[in-house]
Amino acid sequence: MLGASRYLSLDEDLRERIREANVAVHRFEAKYYELVHPEVYNRYEQKRINSTLKMVDKLVADNRERSKKALDVGAGTGNLTGKLLQMGYEVTATDISVEMCKILEKKYKNYLESKRLIVINSPIEYVNFDKDEFDLITCYSVLHHLPDYVDALQRLSGFLKKGGVMYLDHEISPFYWKNESSNVARLVKLIYFHSNPLLNTLCFMIMGVNVPSFDYSLSDYWHKKEHPLDHKKIRCVFERENYEFFERVDYHLRGTWFLNPIFYLYTYFCRPETSFWVAKK
């Protein structure tokens, strides 16, 4: 496994088209983002993120002489950024979307003015920081958007201090595209996945909100059955960089604003479809 290729085999033209697709999608999606992604902003997922971040924070090497510094990659409108600021971190937030960055800056204006927050509008491939600059690096729902998530993780590792932690969340698990072992499980998974968008559409109708549709076919490049995110390659980065430890945790994601009653059947019969990684350097 250590001999695996560091880079993903995409030509430069495709890499640039993936970057451009992400810029285009988020240009139009930014003002709707927190509304059209209940799988991120429902109260169950937000509670899980808060709990996981507290666990991750305890793993970060303690240094009482200064504030801990976090890099939030693909920060969007500030889902993790705001939580990190409230936890006492000095945060550098990066995102490829200028529209997302503007919303984030407006939302956390006080932190910008107090120099606790820095916002950088740039693809992660083009930003540079000092070696060993950050105590914590976070990526939530980011890797599947990147043309080369393996190389990005390799670069990010250089910015992480010894004793620091990398937290990667909201990516498809190795089980997402695999068939379930029983007919019952396959049926439950099918019903659950199909009922989520129906329930969310019903919520929008009740609220009287007309949400436009967005084309994620190229922007979410590694969220495809033909070329899914490869967790073995992620593990390989941590092994190459000699991380002290690393672990992938798989979980069932609640995908609606209000609880889908089929969710309990889904968690009982089906393997979890979502994963997060925690790795300490």
Tens-place pLDDT, residues 189-247: 999 999 999 999 898 888 887 878 889 999 999 999 999 999 999 999 999 999 999 99
Give exposure, 135-150, as e/b (b: 16+ Cβ within 10 Å): bbbbbbbbbbbbbbbb
d(CA 281, CA 267): 32
The token pair at 64 is: 């009482």
In a domain, 257, yes or no: yes
- Tell me the residue range of the domain where 72 lies: 12-280
Cα torsion for 120, 234, 84, 254, to the nearest 10°? 110
List the CATH number of the domain containing 259. 3.40.50.150
- Beta-bridged to residue 72, according to DSSP, are 93, 138
In a domain, 215, yes or no: yes
Question: How many domains does the chain divide into?
Answer: 1
Residue 46 gets the label, from left (phi > 0), alpha (psi -120 to 50) or beta, of alpha
Tell me, yes or no, whether 116 lies in a domain. Answer: yes
- The pLDDT score that the predictor gives to residue 6 is 60
pLDDT, position 65: 62
Its pTM stands at 0.95
Residue at 2 is within a domain: no
Q: Would you state the pLDDT for residue 63?
A: 64
In a domain, 200, yes or no: yes
3-class state of residue 275 by DSSP? strand
Is there a domain that residue 84 lies in? yes
- Answer whether residue 222 is part of any domain: yes
DSSP for the chain? Answer: -TTS-SS----HHHHHHHHHHHHHHHHHHGGGHHHH-HHHHSHHHHHHHHHHHHHHHHHSPP-TTS--EEEEET-TTTHHHHHHHHTT-EEEEEES-HHHHHHHHHHTHHHHHTTSEEEEES-GGG----TT-EEEEEEES-GGGSTTHHHHHHHHHHHEEEEEEEEEEEEE-TTTTSPPSSHHHHHHHHHHHHHHHHHHHHHHHHHT--PPP---TTTTTTBSSSSB--HHHHHHHHHHTT-SEEEEEEEPPP-SSS--TTHHHHHHHS---EEEEEEE-
Q: Tell me if 1 is assigned to some domain.
A: no
Position 2 scores a pLDDT of 38
Residues of the chain with pLDDT under 50: 1-5
